[in-house]
Chains A and B, each alone.
Chain A
Amino acid sequence: MFELLGVVLLFTTIAAIVAIETRDLLGVVVSVSAVGFGLIIAFFFMLAPDVAIVPIVVEVLTLVILIRATLRVGLQPFVGNRDFFGFIATAAALVVVFILSMKVFEGLPKFGQPVFATIPDTPSMHYVTNGMSETGAANIVSAVILDYRAYDTLGEATVLFTAVMGAITIIRRKARKAPSEPEVQEWEE
C-alpha cells in the first residue's frame, strides 16, 4: 500500500510538471485536474473518504468551468523560451524549498502514527474519545467541523459568500452608470 501511494504521488508530480511546461491550454487544464485526481486517490489510500469526497465533486465542477469558460475566450498561451537566468533561479528556489521542507518534515509525527498515540491530552484525543457522547454524531469529522470547530465552517461560508458577491459585482447585468461601459446580457440565446 505504501508503494502504491508513492506511485500515485510520482504520477501527481509528473502531471504537475507537465501542467507547467505544456503550451496547449487544454493540456494544461487536463494536467491540473490529473494532479487533483491523483491527490484524491492518495486520500483514499490513506483511508480518508471524508476528505476525498469534497475534492472529487469540486474537481469536476472546476474542470467544467475551466474548460467552458477559459477555453471559450480563446486565450493565447504564452510562447517563449525561458532564459538561462530564469532556469537557474527556479532550480535554486526548488533546492532551497526542498532543504527547508526536509527540516520541517523531521518535526512532523511519523506516517501512520497520529499525534494522540504519542502525546496524551491533545485536543484530537478529546474529540475521538468524547465526540460521540458530547455531540451525538456518528461521523466524527462532522462532529469536529460543525460542533467543535464550527467557527471555522462559518468563516468558510463567509469566504464563499464574499467570492460570489465579488463575482456578481464584477459581472453584473445592469451597470449603475456610464452607458458607454459594456453590459452583460443574461441567458445568451
Chain B
Amino acid sequence: MGGMKHRGMTPIVQTTAGWVKGFTLVFGAYIVAYGHLTPGGGFAGGVILALAFVMLVLANGSKGIPRVLNIDFVAKLDSVGGLLFLGIALLGMLPGLGGAFFNNFPVKVLHIGTPFRLVSAGIIPLCNIAIAIKVASSLFLLFILLILLRIVRTDGESGE
C-alpha cells in the first residue's frame, strides 16, 4: 500500500463504483431530507454524501471526480454551509419572527407544516440541509488534504 500512486483500482472496482455512486448520493440525500422524521440527520447524511465522492476518488484515482470540486471550491462550500446554518439561527432574531436566536419561527409564529409530513418541524430540516453541506464539504476537504496532497520539494535541493 505504501507509495502507491493514485491511479485508481481495477476496472471491476471502477465499474462497481460507477453503479453504486448514484444510490449512495440518493441515500445520503434521503438521510438528510428525512432527518426530522426518521433516524439520521444532517451529520450522518453529510458524511454519506462525502463518502460517495471518497469512493469515486479511491476507485478512479484523482481523475475520478469533477475538476470543479477542487480545494478552493470545496472550502467555499464549507463556509457557505456554516453561514447558512448561522443565517437560519439569526433569522429567528427578526422582530416579527419571535426575536430569539434559533427560534423555530415556522412552527411557533407562521404555523407552517403538519407533523409526520416532509414539510414540518420548521427550521429543523433547513438546519439539516445546512449541516449536510457543511459536513460533506468539510470531510471531503479533509480527505483531499490528507490523502491526495503530497509534500514535494520545489527548490533545487534534493528532496526526499
Complex CA gap A186/B150 in Å reads 8
- A150 touching B89 in the complex, CB below 8 Å, given contacts A72-B2, A141-B39, A161-B78: yes
CB-nearest residue of chain A to B62: A187
CB-nearest residue of chain B to A65: B146
Return chain B residues, CB-CB under 8 Å to A186.
70-71, 148-149
Please provide the chain B residues from 104 to 149 with a CB less than 8 Å away from any CB of chain A in the complex. Answer: 104, 107-108, 113-116, 120-124, 127-128, 131, 134-135, 138-139, 141-143, 145-149
Contact B120 A136 (CB under 8 A): yes
Contact B147 A69 (CB under 8 A): yes
CB-nearest residue of chain B to A57: B47
- Which of A9-17, A101-109, A118-126, A177-185 lies at the interface with chain B? A177-185
Complex CA gap A83/B104 in Å reads 59
Instruction: Render B11-53 as a binary contact track against A, CB cut-off 8 A, 1 for contact.
Output: 0000000000000000000010001111111111001101100
Contact A65 B147 (CB under 8 A): yes
- A171 touching B40 in the complex, CB below 8 Å, given contacts A61-B47, A150-B102, A164-B78: no
Nearest 3 CB-CB pairings of A with B: A137-B121, A57-B47, A150-B102
Sample (27) of A-B pairs whose CB atoms are under 8 Å apart: A53-B31, A54-B44, A64-B143, A65-B146, A68-B147, A74-B2, A135-B104, A137-B120, A138-B121, A139-B41, A142-B121, A146-B124, A147-B102, A154-B85, A154-B86, A160-B134, A160-B138, A161-B138, A164-B138, A167-B142, A168-B75, A171-B149, A179-B154, A179-B155, A185-B149, A186-B70, A189-B62
